[in-house]
A = this chain, B = another copy of it.
Amino acid sequence: MADLVQSTDNSHLPVAIIHRAPNFKFSSSWATDIFTPIEPSDPLYPTHRPSARVIIVMALTPLKSEHLDLYPSVECVIGTTAGVDHIDLAECRRRNIRVTSAGDAFSEDGADYAVGLLIDVLRRFSAADRYVRAGLWPVKGDYPLGSKLGGKRVGIIGLGSIGTLVAKRLEPFGCTIAYSSRNRKSQLPYVFYSNVLDLATNSDTLIVCCSLTDKTHHIINSDVLTALGNRGIIVNIGRGGLVDEKELVKFLVEGKLGGAGLDVYENEPEVPKELFTMDNVVLSPHRAILTPEAFEGVREVMVGNLKAFFSNKPLLSEVNLSD
């Protein structure tokens, strides 16, 4: 009986521009009684474009300088992802535009995924599953053993909200946790290394979960891979650009690295084909931080940030643009 439901007139509410690539949906259930979503296809868009104070960036849709040029009154860009490197942060800083991220909404899923990828690479789930499905178990016999998680020295690169949750999850497995991060977190009981090379030298596995910036681009390079050693494992749930992919592939092909669990790549959705035949590698199509359950959390953070912005209160998950 949808025709009996009274439609709500939200035209008195402040406007937020929805910025999205066509393949990223904006669910109308995300709109609430605190703002009116306006897309470029909306008849009211020309009216609102010059005065809109807020842009909501859906998923990883790039927001560049030329997009910002369209919105001379914009004061705040609401991101809906954990990392916001698809938003031109330097340009936002220059224009005095504040930026928010999805905050911690995806952190638990991201941490779960990092731990899962690490177990998968060590204990060889995906490879063993292929072995069984190919009917090889009765023919070729026992599948080679993996390696134990307990006792491994895990180095976490970026001890933010995801990295901290990765550490907490790995503690009961008996792993030794160390990290490198912009700042030492003295309240946490893990060993801090001020540079990634030292962390790699003292780790059996590196979990990459920092944000991608000019400073962290290719933070995993051939020196770090060499320091990690030929039994070392790289897990990347951050961004493809954090790892020098060409070097990573070279190390894996040459047997100079133990394995890798990758959720992100430098040229997604392209994945280096050399990895397709490797059993010590788990390849995931950029799914780490996404579950249906997490979306509800993202909506809450987005709405919370919008409420805070329109009522001049501190934003819930503002990105520090001063770096």
Q: Does A307 contact B (CB under 8 A)?
A: no
Of the residues B141, B169, B285, B291, contact of A147 by C-beta under 8 Å:
B291
- CB interface residues, A 178-194, toward B, < 8 Å: none
- CB interface residues, A 95-121, toward B, < 8 Å: 108-109, 112-113, 115-117, 119-120
Q: Does A87 contact B (CB under 8 A)?
A: no
Chain B: CB-nearest residue to A278: B133
With A123-B113, A123-B116 as known contacts, state yes or no: A133 contacts B284, CB within 8 Å. Answer: no
Q: Does A46 contact B (CB under 8 A)?
A: no
Of the residues B108, B130, B148, B149, contact of A174 by C-beta under 8 Å:
B108
Q: Are A143 and B271 in contact (CB under 8 A)?
A: no
Q: Are A126 and B123 in contact (CB under 8 A)?
A: no
Residues from chain B with a CB closer than 8 A to the CB of A45 are: none
Q: Does A68 contact B (CB under 8 A)?
A: no
Residues from chain B with a CB closer than 8 A to the CB of A113 are: 119, 123
Task: Give me the interface of A with B, judged by CB distance under 8 Å.
Answer: 23, 108-109, 112-113, 115-117, 119-120, 123-126, 128-133, 135, 137-138, 141-143, 145-151, 165, 168-169, 171-174, 268-271, 276, 282-287, 290-294
Please list 5 pairs of residues, one from A and one from B, whose beta carbons are closer than 8 Å in the complex, sorted by A's number: A119-B119, A128-B285, A129-B282, A137-B268, A137-B285
